[in-house]
Structure 1
Amino acid sequence: MLISPALAAAINTQIGNELAASLQYHQIAAHFHDLHLLQLATLFHKQAAEEREHAEKLLKYVVDTGGGLRIPAVRQPVHSFPNAEAAVEAALSWELEVTGQIKGLMDIAASESDYLAQGFLQWFVDEQLEEVTKMQRLLGVIRMSGERNLLSVEAYLVHGS
């Protein structure tokens, strides 16, 4: 086995977290779709697909290293948001939480001197910087536009994101 039981268990947990993120992003996309904000809806559907891909990368790593796949129950997504700002705040909060989770995985790998896992996990560390930055920028644009001017956010996504 190329992975410790502790790291395999932690990555299995992260697989569930990534799948939960995918579901949450689909739910946020539905929120924007219901408001006829199709660029925002598309952005979050793409984000949902990306989170699922993250889960699949982690899953493959656990299987390839002989860690024993044990996908946990997935937490239920939040189903409604009072406004666009709250929906994107939830996404940013989620990305910050996931950043901490990935850091925790890297901490385990480092404490075990598991260089194979550290190399694998570095991609996720880099990805989290991108994800957090994307949601911070989007939240900033939504706050500048205000709830009454979300069409300008749609235009921003088409022309300038």
Structure 2
Amino acid sequence: MLISPVLAAAINTQIGHEFSASLQYYAIATHFHRAHLLQLATLFFKQADEEREHAVKLLKYVVDTGGELRLPATKEPVHTFPSSEAAVEAALTWELEVTGQIKGLMDLAASEGDYLAQNFLQWFVDEQLEEVMKMQRLLGVVRMAGEKHLLSVEAYLVHGA
């Protein structure tokens, strides 16, 4: 086995977080879709798919390294948001939480001297920087536009945000 039981268990937990994130992003996408903000909806549908892909990537790593795969239950996502700003804030908060979780996995892999895991997890570290920056920018744009001018956010997204 190329992975310790402790690290495999921690990655299994992260798999659950990633699947939960996917469900949360589907809920946020639905919020925007219902508001007829289709560019924002599309962005979050893509985010949801990415989070699912992250879960599968982690899942395959556990299996490929001979670890025991134990898929955890996911928590129910928040389905309603008082505003578009609140929905994007929720996404940013989630990305910051995931960043901390990935850091914890990296710390655990380092403490175990697991260089394979550290190398594998570096992709997630880099991905989290990109994801946090994306949500910070989007939140800034949504705040500048305000709830009454979200069509300008839609235009911003169309033109290559």
Counterpart-to-counterpart distance in 2, 1:2 and 1:75: 30
1:67 counterpart SS class? coil
- Unaligned runs of 5+ residues in structure 2 are none
Q: 1:91-145 CA deviation, whole Å, 9 max, x = no partner? A: 0000000000000000000000100000000000000000000000000000000
Deviation at 1:147?
0.4
- State whether structure 2 residue 75 is matched by structure 1 residue 72: no
The amino acid across from 2:146 in the alignment is G
Asked if residue 142 in structure 1 is aligned to residue 147 in structure 2, the reply is no
Give the Cα separation in 2 of the matches to 1:54 and 1:159.
27
Aligned partner of residue 45 in structure 2, secondary structure? helix
Match of 2:88 in 1: 88
1:113 and 2:113 aligned: yes
TM-align CA RMSD: 0.4
Letter in 1 for 2:8: A
- Who is 1:21 aligned against? 21
- Corresponding residue for 2:130? 130
Structure 1: gaps of 5 or more residues: none
Amino acid at match of 2:11: I
Percent same amino acid at aligned positions? 81
* Deviant stretches of 4+, over 6 Å: none
Q: How much does 1:160 deviate?
A: 3.4
Q: What per-residue deviation string (whole Å, max 9, x for no partner) do you get for residues 43-84 of structure 1?
A: 000000000000000000000001110010101100100000
Q: How many residues matched?
A: 161
Give the alignment's TM-score, normalised by structure 1: 0.99
C-alpha separation in 2, matches of 1:7 and 1:27: 30
The residue type paired with residue 79 of structure 2 is: H
CA deviations 1:11-39 (Å, max 9, x no partner) are: 00000000000000000000000000000
Alignment TM-score, normalising by the size of structure 2: 0.99
